[in-house]
């Protein structure tokens, strides 16, 4: 089976983790801040807070922005459920902004219209979470312009986009947002096994996020109400055990040295797909020299999508569908959402199919994917 995504691990990664295992530290030790600093420098952000997953990063990002009951957060319906769930964890309400049919990211036009309507009704969101679907940055400059007009905060969900760029700068620099988060799940651009990071240029947001990932505890004597000695710590708020371990950070530091290589290979595969599939007359993703290409999503005729998915699976091609629109999940239907609420995302879902893309995908395996897809769509 050729999966739609797979981690790329080499001997240097293995050696890095073995060295961490032989060190005095297994949990959060000196490698975690080294990883945070290296990733922050790479992204041109001031602060990085490494955590146990991107979901954890999204959760504490919301908390750091004081999102809670009575607030509303808007995100894209074309994403994994974590992009919406993070607001629900905080007791906030969730709503969605439909996607652009070309980029599959949050539509700037739909956002502008929804913000204007929300201002009139007095129901502006506390924050917006644009999602960089498939590794392509949203139009963050325009999203930020609209959000700042209304005092709305921005959390970038960059789970797909480590290594991507936007307007010549790395995604994650937070030029147009308060916070950006990345995922280091094994199928993402680079991996720590499991893990994520929160990036920000705001010292207070970063400091609070660091405290929230560690049970809400501080050892900073200036932040304490009292200090009995060097052993003393205080819990200042209700936090979580969202820490990353040194084992995970060791792998992340090693992977980071090859991030450019990973992204370059993904971009080459995407270009090859664009050329190899052009004759099929199907919907191909927009060409992009800036995307990290976490996914290569194609669009098939609605009546053929399920059959092609099954045929590829039967022949050893692990295609996948990204994503079932979040508002159509049973949990969100119970909150009042329904089919027809976000028609562009729903139309895309009915056609969507993600083809295998990862650095270890060989040219011959990619050619096999193209051939089998072609045969499935045109058996003659």
Indicate which residues carry an active-site annotation.
188
Q: Which residues contact 230 (CB under 8 A, 6 or more apart)?
A: none
Residue 159 in tokens: 């789970």
Instruction: Report the alpha-carbon distance of residue 287 to residue 300 in Å, rounded.
Output: 18
How many of the other CB atoms lie within 10 Å of CB of 110? 16
Q: Indicate the SS3 state at residue 137.
A: coil
Residue 355 in tokens: 């083809």
Instruction: Report the alpha-carbon distance of residue 92 to residue 85 in Å, rounded.
Output: 10
Q: How far is residue 348 from each of residues 83, 164, 323, 338, measured CA to CA in Å?
A: 18, 23, 9, 16
Enumerate long-range contacts of 338-346, CB under 8 Å, 24 or more apart: 341/77, 341/96, 342/77, 342/96, 342/98, 342/99, 343/98, 344/98, 344/99, 344/100, 344/101, 344/107, 344/110, 345/76, 345/77, 345/78, 345/96, 345/98, 345/99, 346/77
Residue 99 has φ and ψ, to the nearest 5°, of: -100, 160
Q: What is the Cβ-side half-sphere exposure of residue 14, based on CA atoms within 13 angstroms? A: 4
Instruction: Report the alpha-carbon distance of residue 228 to residue 214 in Å, rounded.
Output: 21
> Of 125, 53, 132, 50, whose CA–CA distance to 95 is shortest?
125
């Amino acid at each position: 089976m050729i999966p739609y995504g797979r981690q790329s691990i080499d001997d240097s990664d293995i050696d890095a983790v073995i060295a961490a295992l032989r060190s005095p530290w297994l949990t959060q030790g000196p490698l975690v801040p080294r990883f945070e600093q290296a990733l922050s420098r790479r992204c041109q952000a001031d602060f990085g807070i490494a955590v146990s997953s991107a979901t954890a990063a999204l959760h504490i990002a919301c908390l750091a922005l004081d999102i809670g009951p009575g607030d509303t957060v808007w995100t894209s319906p074309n994403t994994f459920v974590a992009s919406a769930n993070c607001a629900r964890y905080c007791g906030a309400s969730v709503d969605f902004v439909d996607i652009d049919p070309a980029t599959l990211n949050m539509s700037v036009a739909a956002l502008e219209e929804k913000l204007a309507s929300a201002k009139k009704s007095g129901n502006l969101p506390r924050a917006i979470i644009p999602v960089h679907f498939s590794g392509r940055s949203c139009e963050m400059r325009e999203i930020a312009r609209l959000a700042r007009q209304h005092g709305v905060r921005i959390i970038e969900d960059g789970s797909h986009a480590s290594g991507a760029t936007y307007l010549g700068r790395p995604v994650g620099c937070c030029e147009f947002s308060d916070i950006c988060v990345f995922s280091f799940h094994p199928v993402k651009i680079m991996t720590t096994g499991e893990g994520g990071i929160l990036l920000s240029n705001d010292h207070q947001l970063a400091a609070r996020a660091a405290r929230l990932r560690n049970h809400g505890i501080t050892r900073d004597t200036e932040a304490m109400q009292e200090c009995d000695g060097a052993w003393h710590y205080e819990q200042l708020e209700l936090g979580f055990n969202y820490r990353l371990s040194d084992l995970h950070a060791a792998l992340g530091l090693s992977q980071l040295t090859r991030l450019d290589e990973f992204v370059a290979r993904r971009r080459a595969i995407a270009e090859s797909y664009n050329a190899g599939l052009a004759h099929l007359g199907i919907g191909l993703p927009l060409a992009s020299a800036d995307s990290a290409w976490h996914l290569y999503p194609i669009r098939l005729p609605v009546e053929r999508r399920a059959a092609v998915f099954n045929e590829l699976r039967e022949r050893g091609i692990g295609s996948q569908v990204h994503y079932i629109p979040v508002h159509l999940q049973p949990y969100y239907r119970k909150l009042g959402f329904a089919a027809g609420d976000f028609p562009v995302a729903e139309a895309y879902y009915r056609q969507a199919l993600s083809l295998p893309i990862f650095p270890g995908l060989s040219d011959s395996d990619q050619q096999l994917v193209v051939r089998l897809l072609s045969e499935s769509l045109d058996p003659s």
